[in-house]
Structure formats: structure tokens, C-alpha cells
Amino acid sequence: MNATRILVASAIVCGAVAPPTLAAPREPPAGASGCTGCHPGSAITTPVPRLAGRDAAEIVAQMQAFRAGQRPATVMERIAKGFSDAEIQAIAAWYAAQR
């Protein structure tokens, strides 16, 4: 390991530099803004779960289950059928990054 790698590794460990990650876009991806019609923000409590800050893999799994008809819902199976796997993953990553 050369000196630069050691310096970068120690900066990451000490918290001076964040480790590289796949950052979610600042603006919501196509389709994500429609979710807020039913899914509340942080200040509202409803039976519909909040999406912001949830695990992206959990959101993807739930959307795929809705789309496949494996999870019953009132409208989500119809909504989920309108998204590709890539769109679902982008939406899930964006919501997971929100706090």
C-alpha cells in the first residue's frame, strides 16, 4: 500500500473524508414525486408507511412484490406495474437517502 492509500484510508477511518458511495440524486427521479400523494412526510402520521429514510432494498422488495401480485394492496399493485426495475431502484435509492 502506498503512502497516498494509507493517508486516504486513515482519513476515512478518522471521519475526515466520507467513504465513496453511490449518492442518490438531489432531485427525485421520475415517478417518485407521485408517491407523496399517499405516503406522508415526516410530520404526518397515517396508516400508509413513510418512505423517507427506509432501507432501499426493503422498498425495492415491496415494490416488486406489489408488481408481481404477491402482496395485496388497494392500488399499489397497479402503480408498481408502471415501473421498470431500474425505475424502482432509483426511486428506492432516492427515498432511502431522504431524512
In this structure, is residue 58 part of a structural domain? Answer: yes
Yes or no: say if 88 and 32 are a contact pair by the CB < 8 Å rule. Answer: no
Q: What is the pLDDT of residues 36-84, one digit of tens each?
A: 889 987 777 788 889 999 999 999 999 999 999 999 999 999 999 999 9
The tally of domains found in the chain comes to 1
Mean pLDDT of the chain: 80
Residue 74 lies in a domain: yes
Contacts of 63 (CB under 8 A, 6+ apart): 76, 80, 83, 88, 91, 92
**Region 22-43 average pLDDT:** 80
Look up the domain containing 66 and give its range.
Answer: 23-97
Give me the CATH number covering residue 86. Answer: 1.10.760.10
In a domain, 32, yes or no: yes
